[in-house]
Structures are given as structure tokens and as C-alpha cells.
Structure 1
Amino acid sequence: MKIGIAGVGGIGSNVAMHLVRSGITNLKFGDFDKIEKSNLNRQFYFEDQIGKYKAEALRENLTKISHGNYEYEIIKFNEKNIKDFFKDCDILVEGFDKKEFKKLFVEELYDRDKILITVSGIGGVDTSNIQVIQKLKNFYVIGDMVSDISKYKTYSHKVNIIAGKISEIILKELYNEK
């Protein structure tokens, strides 16, 4: 099985890291953004990578953990390219910051044969309200459902708890441990 990750900032980079540390090394991911100093508090990147493209740097970091099949592209997703990019993936993770990209992810990629995992509410320090909601058999939403990052600062511990929950869903799906 191949895991696809749309956006490799806080959620996407940490999901990839958790999966590779769990032995899952068949990943495909894309992002158009470059690493900034402000990303280092919660994303799986390092100071010497500031200015590099996130997707390229993530592949570099993952191969330091374990060699695998890490396909990546520096890409800004839209309705014309997102379906084609992820057509060979079985489980899809949304790691976008902006609502319009989250909407695009669900509208363009929902398919009964693929598992979709999205996030909602990753800002702030409180982790007590993080939920895993299974909307449909193959559609999950993880987060506290309220703390939008446009209103709340993001912190490593909360981002990583959510990334860990996403990784748990993927591992359960892969190993039929529901």
C-alpha cells in the first residue's frame, strides 16, 4: 500500500516521520512551500534546511531514518492535478493550512476505495479535546474541531499528538487492527 500526503508542514511532515519510524516506507507527498525558521517549532525540519522546499527536505530527512520509496513533488495542488498525483495511493492524508485546500482535498479525492484522513482544529495548547471522528467507513477527521490556526498559535506537542493519531489510523488500516 502507498500512503499519500498532501502538504508536508506540521501535520504532513510528522505523519511521514511517524510512519517511517513504524516501518511504513512507501510514501508519496507534495508541497510547494519552503521551510521558514517559524516552522521549526513543530515541523520535521532543521535549521540548516531553512529556504529549502519542504517536500525535498522531507525526503532527505526520511532517508536518514530508513531507506524506502519516498516519491515527492514540489507542487501546488489544484483541481486539475490533485487526483492524478494521488491516483496510485491507497490512504490519503490532508496536511494543509488553508481551508480552501482542505475543501479541495475532500471534494476531489473522496472515493469509496481510498481512505481519507483530514484535520480540523490543531491550534492552541490544549489537547484534552482532540477527537478522532470517523464520518464514513473510509473518512476520518482528527483534531479538536474548533481551534483554527488563524486564531491560535500552533505548538509541537499538539501537532504531534494529532499526527500520531493519524498514524495510528493508518497502521490499524494496514494491519487490520480495528
Structure 2
Amino acid sequence: MPAGVTVKLEDQAYAIVATCTTDMEGFYIFKDLTVLGQGFNVLFAQAWNEQYSEEDVVSWAWIGPFAVARSSVVELPDFEIGQRDFVPINPPMSESFSVGEISAQNPILFEWNPYPGAESYWVDLSQGDDLTPVWHTQLLNTTSAVFDRVLDNGSLADPDTYWWGVGARGNVG
């Protein structure tokens, strides 16, 4: 990774908990982290994620809480800054839906390009301007998932703005 890249660490509620910049050799270190039960997302993230500017982040990885709890060094894959082909395919970013039309018989199909080196994926759905997490899949071995309007808490999605994102997991976890 080149020098001067901003790297952000967020918790599983998508709150940024630490920020650093890669050094002259392209390495980065987060110090004095509090152990979180669900682990962290390391953001270098995607251009399609409007929460972050393209200058800040370009890809991301998940680190389980075990890595931080043991105070061990975690070897992450070398993300290519120019690799922007991991993007949503369906639905198109400009697409809008009426929540009343979404059901088990008429779900939304989320599809994305495969990410090099990924062994599995998951999809998150966040609601509103504050990006409140409301739905996620289990780990998937495919590049698609369906949403039938039922949120993680069992309620139905209300009319609002929702953002979806895809996470990829490789052999580093």
C-alpha cells in the first residue's frame, strides 16, 4: 500500500473509533484500542460508499475481536488502491422501491461482482442518514442475497432511505 493513505477503524455499529495514515513503507498501526465484542472493520472502503470520500478509503477488511484481545499483530491482505471493481450490480444505485411492494414473494435481489480472494460475503442494510444497521445476512458463498422487507428485529422496513453494502471475507477472517 502506498504511503499517506488514510486508514480508518470502525466498530460493528459503523462508528469510527480510530484513524491513522500509512507510513513511508505503506504500513499502519492502530494503538490503544478497546476490545469490542464484534470486532472491527478496517476501512481503506469502496467508492460506492457515500459515507466516505474516495480519497480516504478504497477497500476494507474485518478483524475479529480475538485479534485485538490477544494484542497480536494481524496480517491483512495487501489491498490494491486502484482495485475498484468490487461494486454493487443490482439494484442500480439510482433505483428506488416502495416498501409496500417488497415481500417474500417479491424480494429485492442484491448482486455484486466477486472480489478477488474472497471466500464468502455478507450484506448489511442501514437505515436513514445516521446509517443505523437494521438487517444483515449470514456469511454467503454466492454473490447475491435477497431482502424480503423483514428486518433483524422482526419488524417490517418502513419508508425511509436505506443503504446496502457488501463485505468480503478471505482466509484472514
Q: TM-score, normalised by structure 1?
A: 0.30
Q: Select the structure that is richer in helix.
A: 1
Bigger radius of gyration, 1 or 2?
2
Q: TM-score, normalised by structure 2?
A: 0.30
Q: Which has the higher contact order (CA 8 A, sep 6+)?
A: 1
